[in-house]
């Protein structure tokens, strides 16, 4: 597990040459809609804030949940990658609890789930996290919060949803996005990783702002 963790943290998914071309097909890009930061941005950061949310520091006990590899690119409205941007994610654990002290079900929180992570984008705007597939909690469908911080730009918050999740039509945050194309831009497929013996998933979520 430790070896896998080191390899994960040190590996950056490189974009293809096509996607590294600044402005490539920029006219087809859809600006990612900003969405609420929500009330559960951590009020106290975990002991570990790297991009592997399944293991805290050198613990040998992983978090409970379906392992999900979340990756994507941070782009400007012209399609150019935003390098050295800090990407933060946070979400509930498999018991539907945030690491925030005011979270519902806080007493049932999985203490092995980091709950929050950071990653600095590469020259191609790429980011990568290892986390769990998000689960619903009362009033909300599964989602992952994403916050992007980049020099000279405003902080940008949005959320990533599971494409095809049956309850998506009932989520007030998601359906507050009136433009169907923009609403579709924040719902992405969570697909099985080919050859994974533990049933890992992969999701790709690009942020354009």
What b-and-e string marks burial along 179-203, b requiring 16 or more CB atoms within 10 Å of the CB?
eeeebebbbbebeeeeeeeeebbbb
> Which comes out higher in pLDDT, residue 18 or 33?
33
Residues 119, 87: contact at Cβ < 8 Å?
yes
pLDDT tens digits for 84-101? 999 999 999 999 999 999
Return d(Cα 35, Cα 20) in angstroms, integer. Answer: 27
The residue ranges of every structural domain in the chain are: 2-208
Q: Which residue from 203, 208, 205, 204 is spatially nearest to 82, judged by alpha carbons? A: 208
Flag whether the pTM goes above 0.85. yes
Residues 37, 147: contact at Cβ < 8 Å?
yes
What's the fold here for domain 2-208? Protocatechuate 3,4-Dioxygenase, subunit A (2.60.130)
């Amino acid at each position: 597990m430790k070896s896998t963790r080191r390899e994960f943290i040190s590996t950056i998914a490189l974009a293809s040459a096509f996607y590294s071309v600044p402005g490539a097909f920029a006219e087809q890009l859809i600006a990612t809609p900003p969405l609420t930061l929500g009330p559960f941005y951590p009020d106290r950061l975990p002991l570990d804030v790297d991009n592997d949310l399944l293991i805290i520091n050198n613990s040998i006990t992983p978090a409970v949940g379906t392992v999900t590899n979340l990756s994507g690119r941070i782009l400007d409205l012209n399609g150019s990658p935003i390098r050295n941007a800090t990407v933060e994610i946070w979400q509930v654990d498999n018991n539907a609890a945030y690491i925030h002290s005011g979270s519902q079900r806080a007493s049932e929180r999985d203490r092995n789930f980091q709950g929050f992570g950071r990653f600095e984008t590469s020259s191609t705007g790429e980011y990568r996290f290892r986390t769990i597939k998000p689960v619903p909690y009362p009033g909300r469908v599964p989602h992952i919060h994403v916050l992007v911080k980049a020099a000279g730009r405003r902080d940008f918050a949005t959320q990533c949803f599971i494409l095809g999740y049956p309850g998506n039509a009932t989520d007030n945050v998601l359906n507050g996005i009136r433009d169907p194309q923009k609403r579709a831009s924040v719902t992405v497929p969570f697909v099985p990783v080919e050859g994974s013996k533990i049933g890992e998933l992969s999701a790709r979520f690009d942020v354009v702002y």
